[in-house]
Amino acid sequence: MNSEDLNVKSLGKPALQSILKPSSLSKDDSFGFVEDEDRVLLDASLKHFLYCKESNTTPFSFEKAGPHQHLFFKSEDTRVAIVTCGGLCPGVNDVIQSLVNQLSYRYYVKQIIGIQYGFQGFIKEYNHPVVELTPKSIDKIHLFGGTLLGSSRGKQDTAQIVDRLIELDIDILFCIGGDGTLRGAHAIHQEIVKRNLLIAVAGIPKTIDNDISFIDKSFGFETAFTIAGGIIRSAHNEAIGAWNGIALVKLMGRNSGFVAANAALAMREVNFVLVPEDPFELHGSKGFLKALRKRLENRHHALVVIAEGAGQNLFDTANTEKDASGNILNKDIGLFLKQKISEEFHSANFPFTLKYIDPSYILRSTPANANDSKFCGLLAQNAVHAAMAGKTDFVVGHWNDHFTLIPIPLAVSETKRIDVDGELWWNVLESTGQPSKMRT
């Protein structure tokens, strides 16, 4: 990575005076417009600052999000499209609502349409009509989970998508989705550039897995692990209600175990957290089954939380099958682990009771909690500010307590994962008391 990788593209020089008014506070205390030179440090530690000073290098930094004094698009002539893609996630409707309200009430944009069922909605053969979005039509959607616009997975023809953007006379496209959606948004941007069009493409990060790089959290994540916490509490009651009771809870997390780790820290009754970042073995002196039996012999109950992408090394065949979005389909580690625990303890005549719980679709389809809803609104507001100023091919994020703008290629350059040598995983190990390594 170099400093150029962190610079957000623009359609051109913004020349129109913004209709937004700065704070009416005194000059020294006012909250005003941001400039392109306003940056948020990637690493804000004193150690890194001193290193950069000694080596005479410039610290890496992101562009700070916020309102701009000059706009690229003329508000009354701007036409906007909003699309939601991928799996459901708490807060999607909150983002849609905030986009519409910000565009309508703050920038006086009158032409906002919703594209139904993801990128499919741009392709005419699917025959999904576009819908008009107004403050009145979206005034209560934040009370409901899911997405008002519907969603879908899978790649669509980028050229046809841009053809449709031209036909609809769109100036700004907001894409709400995870890494697959953001890759699609970048491909759309590339096609727009190829045709020398002035259409801005803005991304808003949606994934309960919290696995988008250079963003400290994505919307929906906090709601997901909060709801998971309540389910874990109930699972704990199941475990302690039987002699040698085992409760096994599978949570979402295809490549990253952030939901499982954070839910376990919120509900400290969990005894084992199994995540994709830390492979484990079943058998042997350091294997999971040995550690689980030891826990049962000592305390006579155990609560296990496992992320869906954990333990893929335990299956005989490599994963080759993919879903519509191109993601490798994981083998079902939850049911597999349930079977292996049962086989192991039955063969050893070791008495146990096992309850298996998979609440995945409950987590992703629930409405956002209060803090997540607030976060959704602020992400959307900052995305609108940037897009109206002509910023493009960016995703709005949050880093070091500031909202930021990140080039989409950088955000999807790699999957964010738990650092098993870092603070979060250390906290999980301290909370659960599980062995640091369950493999030889």
Give phi and psi for 431, each to the nearest 5.
-70, -40
Side-chain-side CA neighbours of residue 107 (13 Å): 36
E strand map for 26-110? 39-41, 61-64, 70-71, 79-84
Residues in the chain: 440
In angstroms, rounded to a whole number, what is the distance separating the alpha carbons of residues 278 and 165?
44
Cβ contact 417:425 at 8 Å: no
In order of 78, 213, 405, the CA distances from 101 in angstroms are 15, 28, 21
Cβ contact 164:154 at 8 Å: no
Residue type, 323: D
In angstroms, rounded to a whole number, what is the distance separating the alpha carbons of residues 201 and 8?
11
258-266 helix and 423-432 helix, angle to the nearest 10 degrees: 50
Residue type, 403: F
In order of 183, 184, 188, 320, the CA distances from 155 in angstroms are 10, 7, 11, 18
Instruction: List, in sequence order, every residue forming a beta bridge with 407; answer none if it has no partner.
Output: 394
Residue 157: how many other CB atoms lie within 10 Å: 12
- Among the listed residues 307, 301, 363, the one whose alpha carbon sits nearest the alpha carbon of residue 337: 307
342 burial class (0-12, 13-18, 19+ CB within 10 angstroms)?
middle
At 247, which helix (H) or strand (E)? strand 245-251
In angstroms, rounded to a whole number, what is the distance separating the alpha carbons of residues 147 and 320?
30
Q: Which residues touch 316 (CB under 8 Å, ≥6 apart)? A: none
E strand map for 379-429? 391-392, 394-399, 402-407
**Per the residue annotation, which of 94, 209, 211, 278 is the catalytic one?**
209
- Among the listed residues 274, 66, 95, the one whose alpha carbon sits nearest the alpha carbon of residue 175: 95
In order of 51, 53, 407, the CA distances from 58 in angstroms are 10, 8, 19
Residue 209 annotated among the catalytic residues of the structure: yes
Residue 233: how many other CB atoms lie within 10 Å: 13
**Catalytic residue positions, numbered:** 209
